[in-house]
Each structure stands twice: as C-alpha cells, then as structure tokens.
Structure 1
Amino acid sequence: MNLPAALAVLALPRHLALMAGLAIFSAIVVRVMISIGVPDHPDPRKAHAHITPKSGGVGIVCAFLLGVLLLYRYGQVSRLAEPYFIGVIAAAVLIAAISFIDDLLNLPFLVKLLTQLACAGVAVASGLWVHMLALPYYGTVDFGAAGIAITLGFLVFVTNAMNFIDGLNGLASGVTLIASLFLAGIAGLHGGFFVYTASLLLAGGVLGFLPFNFPKGRIFMGDVGSQFCGFMLALFGVAATRFQGVPLSFLLVPFLLSGVFYDVAFTLIRRLLAGENIARAHNGHLYQVARRAGMDSRGVAVLHWGFAALGGITALAFLAAPSALRPAMGLLPLAVQLVWTRYVIRRARIARLDRW
C-alpha cells in the first residue's frame, strides 16, 4: 500500500464518523423542509401524480457547507491553498442560493444558464480551472488560457445534466452518492485529500436525504439539490486534476456520470435533429421514456445507480491500466449505454409511444 492510500485508510474512521454525523444533520434539515412544504405540482411531463414538497436538497447543501467549513477550520491535511478553498466555499454558497431561488420562482432557462455561468466564474476566478488534461495516447496536454473556457463549460454542463436527470425518485441522489464514494476512494488512493474528504462530505449530505426520496418520494431534491450536486461533482473533478499531489484524469467525473452524460447528450442531439426547442421542458429523456413505456421507476433509478458504479469501476481500471489499453476501457460505459438505448427504443415501440 502506498503512503497516500495508507494515510487515507488511517483517517477513514474519523471521516466516516463525520459523514454519518452530516447524514443525520441533513436528515433533520430535510424533515424541516417537508414541514415547510415548497410545493412541486404535477404536470404531464412529471412522474408524480400528487403535490409533493421539493427543495429537500437544502439538507444536502447545509450538511455539505457545515462539513466544508469544519474542513476549512480543522482539516490540515485536506486543505487546499487559501484562495482555492475560499473559491470552493463561495461557489458552493452561490450555486445553492441561486438554485433555491430557481425552485421558488422557476427562472427562465437563459437566466438560469447565466447565473450558473456566474457561479462557475467564481470558482475559476479563485484559480480552480484545468490547466492540463491527461489523454490516452497523447499524454498530458497543456491548454493554457483555453482551460478557463473548458472549465466554465464543464461546470455548467454537469450542473445542468444532473438537473435534467432528476426526474425519478432516487435517481439523481443515488447516482450522486455512488459517484461521490467512488471519487473519494480514487482520490484517497492517489493522495488527493481535499477531493477525498469533500466527496465524503457530499456523500453524507446525500445519504441523509435519500431515505426520504427513495423508494417513495416524500420530498424531492428540487433544483437546489440537483444543481448543487452536479456543480460540486464537477468542481471536485476540476480540483482532482489541478491541485493534487498526483494529477488525476479529467475523465473521472465523466466516467462516474457516464449514464447521465449519455442520456443528456443523446436527448439533446435527438431533439436538435427533430427541430425542437431544446430550452422547453419535456419528458423525452431515455429514463423518462423507459418509465412511460412501462418500466418500474424504481428499477430505472437503480439501473442508473449501476451505471454510476460501472463508471467507477471503469475509472479505477482506467487509472491502473497501461496507456495503450485505456481507450478500450473507456468504451465499456458507452457500449452499455448503446445497449440501454436499444432496449428503451424497443420498449417504446411496443408501448406505441410515437412522440418522445
């Protein structure tokens, strides 16, 4: 066992205790949000048939921010340099506040996009942006100033991707939990102690929320939960490449969220080709079509958890494999998604869903 992995193992009991404490704190906040009851009204594109409270993601946000403030104060090993750490906290607070306002007011898509870009800009302004990218065959590529635009685009895309996928009980929260745990494990093995600890903090917040949302949805994450989770996972991916003792591949988060990325990209391309307004709300994502075609919504959610776990296993293999083998490994999640797409299309035809 190498030194970084040994240090992560030694710290694990304390970090698991912190994660459990944050899960309890998150659950308390979620119960308060159920009582407050920010309503989510059903409509034809949504999966629920009754008014259900949303913004349960406030519990995730509060737990994470409490944890990261404790980390800032006491976590000497897991600290980032001061400007970067403050950038993480500021960006997290800003995306949480804006996405909660979105829950309350249902902001227009363009306004939402611009505010997300502003949140990403706060992180980038602190120095959290990708300078270099590790690619199979090509090795390390230095992007220079272009890395700023890449980082901004990546943060905004992942934030929206998680927001789009949050349409079934437990789907987005379960994927976030699994992705966070894998990311923590991978970062711990490679000496990325900030990403290791921060991922466990996010996992704790989600763990406290998930029992209220799956298998039965007593409350939904809302935009404040889905956008926050997507933004933070993307930010961890950036931090993993930029500031750790052993640089990690920028492909880690795309591997972990391969099911989410594929669904969003496939749906976006399909709607563009059909001449549809991509900013208009719809129920044409693959996971939504699968549910409309008769699949149990809980099964669809669990299947996406499996996609996240497969992405984590692939990421571990990718980092350990020789460079020549990495491209083939990277194709495994894509192959699984192609099989899933074919299955959904077949079910949709059987159910005679002419319009997605």
Structure 2
Amino acid sequence: MQMYLLGLIAAFFVTIATVPVVIVLARKWGFVDKPDQRKVHKGNMPRIGGIAMMLGVAAGVAVLWPQLGETRDDMIFLIGGALVLAIVGLVDDRFALGAKTKLIGQTIAAVCAASSGLRIEFIQIPFIGNWEFGYLSFLVTVIWILAVINSVNLIDGLDGLAAGVTTIAVLTMLIMAIGHPIAYASVIVLSLSLLGSTTGFLLYNFYPGKIFMGDTGSMFLGYAMAIISMMGLFKSVTMFSLIVPLLILAVPFIDTTFAVIRRTLNQQSIGTPDKGHLHHCLLAMGYGHRKTVLIIYGISLLFGAVAVLFSQTANWVSLVLLVVILFGIFVFAEGIGLIGQKRKPLLKALEKMQLVKKYE
C-alpha cells in the first residue's frame, strides 16, 4: 500500500510541477486556444496541458512498475500508441488539424494498442452468455479505443470537465480492481498514475482555469481509459463485462451519441463542432460555469456508483436497474436538449421533418 501511495503522489506532484513550465512554453510557441463564438472562454489560453499529465502518468508508472511483478512486453506497444497521440495532439493544438486527419492518427494509435495483444476477445451479455469475437477482436478493440478517445475529446468544453469526469471514471475502475490486486495489478498501477495526474492537473484547470489540456490531453485521457478498461473490465467473466464499462463512461458516451444524432439530423459532418453538448445546454439554462461542471460530476458519480452496484447485484435486479437508468437518461437528455436551450439545432431539424411544431 505504501508503494501504491508513493506512485499516486509521484504522478500528482510531477504534474503540478510541470504545468507552470508547460504554460510558459505554450505561450512562447503559440500553443494557445483563441476564443470564438462557439467557445465560452475569453482571451488566449495555453492548451497543451496534456503534456504535463502524460509526464505525471509516466512518473507514477515508473514508481509502480515493480508492483507488476514481471515485465510487460505489451507496454511498448501501448506507449507507442500514446506517443502517436501526443504528436497528433500537439500538431492539432498548434495548427488545428481536420477531423479526418485526427482520426487517422487516432486509428494508428489504436492499432498500436491492439497489436500489443491486449484485445476485447468477448463480452458477456445478460441472459445470453459469451459473445466471442474471434478474428474480429482486433477490429472491435480498435473501434472501442477510438470510441473512448473521441467521447472524452468531445466533452472537453469547460474548465475541469474532461479531467474531472475522467478522474471519477478511473476512480470507479480502481475501486473495482482493488479487490483483486493480483489479477488486476496493471489496472491498479495505471489507474493510480492517471488518478494522480488528473487531480494534479485539476488544480490548474478547474474554473477559472489557467490552462487547457487541449486535444493532446483529452485524446490521451480517452486512450488511457480505454486501455485500463480492457485490462480489467472486459477481462471479467461476469455478465457485466459489457454493461459496466458503458456505465462508467456513460456521460461522455451519451453526449457523443447525441452529438452524432444532432449533427446527422442537421446534415452536418459528425466532426463539425457545435454548441449542443450537455454542458452548453446547462449553460443555456442559466447555470454558471462552475455549477454546470459540478452537475456533470454528480451525474458521473451516480453512474460510477451504479456500475459498482451492478457488479455486486443479482441478474434480474441489474436488468431492472438498467432499464430504469436508460429511461432516466432519455428523459434527462430530451429535457435538456429540447427545453433548456433557446436555439436548438436538433429541434430545427425535427421541425423540417414535421415531427414537432415550430419553436419560437
């Protein structure tokens, strides 16, 4: 336990120590986020805070490496994927890459990770049993990594939002793994390192933030969470190997799903930015920046608690809970998206389809 605590502290303090340096370098080299009509911040903000988090995670892993008990050859591939994302993120934070170009870079990183041998080979579906992927496991793994990367990337719209939601998700996975320290040593090592890094970064990033994580940070966080989930949750032999990771990552996944639907109905590219995300809707309802972030934290904590509960509950109870939760998600999202926001791209699209009356 002392060694685990030391790794957490190392990640925390290395991140804290490197953020001020990153802020100076970001301003000097032009890695700044300029305000526009879609963004909520004012003034140029340094936005490569992800570099500090990467260094923090590296420090934590270096301290905790002996806890793995053996050398993990797959870490070379996983590190390679992280480095690819770091390069793509840095270029994007400086020159604003197109969505397709970023997707190519993300795919290369995902392929690196899948090439390590760490793959989603099956999932457990309630009352059905194992669904083996066989030769498709490589493709499923790549798709999962891409989904998590882009989900985290899309919710990174307010100070402290992506880092806080990630912290809650990682803490949930850590709690579930800590009961089996031998089987899930890698999960514990990576989770503690990531937890120390994100909490350290939040000291600078929570509203009013002094630095943004940028795509360098958001893509890295998504990548790291995808890797941790595959090391632990998808290796489970229980019925929750599909449900639990979806619950833990519910907030970014739901927001991304609605973004895809919204943009498709508006005949826009899926990669086109807009102001229809959950945090934008909450802001439009009159909640302040800090309160909006805290509300989404609360929702994330709820899903995390339910995920832990699912792993300890009888099958039929889990199914009932799942139906209730999904219904709640639908009602909440519809209420926010169709009532809270004065200007709704989705509603305008529905008007054209004559599914709702014109909104004034």
Regarding TM over 0.5, the answer is: yes
Q: Is the 8 A contact 1:131 1:144 kept in 2?
A: yes
| 1:318 and 2:302 matched | no
| 1:186 and 2:176 matched | yes
Q: 1:118 to 1:17 in 2, by over 3 A?
A: same
Partner of 2:108: 118
Q: Is the 8 A contact 1:130 1:238 kept in 2?
A: yes
Partner of 1:8: none
Which of 165, 169, 174 in structure 2 is aligned with 1:175?
A: 165
Q: 1:279 to 1:139 in 2, by over 3 A?
A: same
1:306-327 CA distance string (max 9 Å, x none):
1221121111111111223222
SS of 1:321's partner is: coil
Q: 1:233 to 1:76 in 2, by over 3 A?
A: closer
Partner of 1:296: 288
Q: Is the 8 A contact 1:255 1:333 kept in 2?
A: no
- Distance in 1, Cα, partners of 2:269 & 2:112: 30
Partner of 1:254: 246
Superposed displacement of residue 193, structure 1: 1.6
Structure 1 runs (4+) deviating above 6 angstroms are 244-248
Partner of 2:9: 20
Read off the aligned partner of 2:279 and give its amino acid letter: Y
RMSD (CA atoms): 2.2
| 1:228 and 2:220 matched | yes
Q: Percent identity?
A: 29
Deviates more, 1:170-179 or 1:296-305: 296-305
Which of 91, 99, 108 in structure 2 is aligned with 1:109?
A: 99
| 1:91 and 2:81 matched | yes
Superposed displacement of residue 201, structure 1: 0.5
Q: 1:354 to 1:306 in 2, by over 3 A?
A: closer
Matches within 5 A, 1:206-217: 206-217=198-209
- Distance in 1, Cα, partners of 2:102 & 2:310: 35
Q: 1:245 to 1:75 in 2, by over 3 A?
A: farther
Structure 1 unaligned residues grouped into runs of 5+: 1-10
1:32-91 CA distance string (max 9 Å, x none):
11222221100001110211111112111111122223444x2234x5x63322222222
Q: Is the 8 A contact 1:30 1:57 kept in 2?
A: no
Partner of 2:195: 203
TM-score by length of 1: 0.89
Read off the aligned partner of 1:26 and give its amino acid letter: T
SS of 1:42's partner is: coil
Deviates more, 1:295-304 or 1:240-249: 240-249
Superposed displacement of residue 354, structure 1: 4.6
Q: Is the 8 A contact 1:293 1:353 kept in 2?
A: no
Superposed displacement of residue 215, structure 1: 2.3
Q: 1:246 to 1:83 in 2, by over 3 A?
A: farther
Partner of 1:49: 42
Q: Is the 8 A contact 1:258 1:333 kept in 2?
A: no
Q: Is the 8 A contact 2:248 2:300 kept in 1?
A: yes
- Distance in 2, Cα, partners of 1:221 & 1:331: 35
Partner of 2:357: none
Deviates more, 1:42-51 or 1:278-287: 278-287
- Count of equivalent residues: 340
